[in-house]
Amino acid sequence: MPISENSPLAPTRCALGLGSNLGDPQANLEHAVQLLDQTSGLTVVRRSSDYRTPPWGPVPQDDYVNICLVVDTTLSPQDLLKRCLETEAELGRVRDIRWGPRKIDIDVLIYGVEKVEETDLEIPHPRMGDRAFVLIPLSEIWPDAPLGDGRTAAEALETCPDQEGVVKLD
């Protein structure tokens, strides 16, 4: 019997943003993707190319490597966030400096069309529509991703600043 879209077992299409600028960033990202894909109730559907991106924020640091994932999940938004944080911890993420260098960072960007506003989780991610390091890889794999403000990822990318600093890696 097919699963109805309203069934609690039907997966939700989501987007995750990942970044790393410590150690071997590309290996860190690949390891994170593997750990996420091994999670019960979560399937990686698409992975963007790797992009070298300048650091964002006030802390001087090395460039990042960023990717986006499209995942299907039966996890709740909070459980998806919990799994992302667990994955960061498994890879040795230390949270000491806000916007500082990190071995891995995993953000829940989109959870279907749901809006979540909680102390530790805001979905859709409130600043993704202005960040080229998110929109470029997201548009590559899910151009019509709903940003929650009426625009798709591809539409937001049309007017997004700082795109010239985002370089696709081989």
| Catalytic site positions | 93, 102, 105, 107
- What is residue 38's DSSP assignment? T
Are the beta carbons of 146 and 111 closer than 8 angstroms?
Answer: no
Question: How far is Cα 153 from Cα 168, in angstroms, rounded to an integer?
Answer: 17
Beta bridge partners of 69: 16, 47
**Phi, psi torsion values for 45, nearest 5 degrees:** -95, -45
CA 44 to centroid of chain Cα atoms: 12
